[in-house]
Amino acid sequence: MLLNNPIEFQGNVFTFLVLYIKNDTINIVQKAIFNKIKESPEFFKRAYIILNISYLTPAVNWHDMQQAITDTGLRIIGVSGYINCILKSIIIKSGLPIFNNGKEILNNINILKKTDLLNLKKIKSTVITQPVRSGQKIYIKYADLIILNNVSTGAELISGGNIHIYGTMRGRALAGVHGDRTRNIFCTKYFAEIVSIAGEYLLLDQITASLLGCSVYVFFKKNNLYVKPLI
């Protein structure tokens, strides 16, 4: 079928892990990555990542470092962070794009206008009653997202508002994606791969073991993300 417009640009929300490289020694970095992958092999399997290289010095062998990271199975889609002019030239020649810091993009582009924030009160919440399966992605632009079922590993919930999961949560939940740090995530049985509010992330292995399987809420306070039990 032929269409008048063969292409179309659309806004979307994508989630990528950011890997911070804090050591110039290639074998140390690669070993650390392999050890992390062993902890959650399915989660990191063929994962797309952005490298933050703010800590690297101009002395690093960039080509060997890039190859060593790629050999772990991670897929590098770009580089971010402070990059000195020597490394920047080498990275550009290697073919990888250089991104501005994600928080800067979020703060400068995606924060809601005051009129939008006022209009949020008029937007009804979206309620999903069926299970959210692995590979499924639900994106609600501004309203709260309420899930009355389980969320499987590999599923993704994205909302500009709050997220409520009344079931077992094993996937990813990203609330306040337009930069609203007042948003929260509520969950009755917590095993989430990733939770995020306004671009700040916590991985499953960063969560206190005593909170796993419990009813919790996730909130942003003083530039940090917290997971606390629901009382």
| Tens digit of each residue's pLDDT (9 = 90 or more) over 94-115 | 888 887 654 433 333 333 344 4
Domain boundary among 99, 122, 156: 99
Range of the domain at 170: 114-229
Which tens digits make up the pLDDT trace of 30-55? 999 998 888 777 667 777 888 888 88
Q: Which residues contact 135 (CB under 8 A, 6 or more apart)?
A: 154, 155
Average pLDDT, the chain: 80
On whether residue 67 sits in a domain, the answer given is yes
pLDDT band of residue 145 (cuts 50, 70, 90) is: very high
pLDDT band of residue 123 (cuts 50, 70, 90) is: low
Which CATH number does the domain housing residue 34 bear? 3.30.70.260
Q: 122 and 95, same structural domain? A: no
pLDDT at residue 119 is higher than 70: no
pLDDT of residue 80: 83
CA distances 47 to 70, 147, 210, Å, are 11, 26, 27
> Higher model confidence: residue 42 or residue 56?
56
Please state, in angstroms and rounded to a whole number, the distance separating the CA atoms of residues 165 and 218. Answer: 12
Q: 214 and 120, same structural domain? A: yes
**CB neighbour burial string for 49-64, b if at least 16 within 10 angstroms, e if fewer:** bbbbbeebeeebebee
Beta-sheet strand order (sheet of 156-159): 137-140, 156-159, 172-175, 194-197, 200-203
Q: Note the pTM of the prediction, 2 decimals.
A: 0.56
pLDDT of residue 215: 94
CA distances 80 to 71, 87, 119, 146, 220, Å, are 20, 12, 34, 34, 24
* Mean pLDDT, rounded, for 9-28: 75
Domain boundary among 65, 99, 133: 99
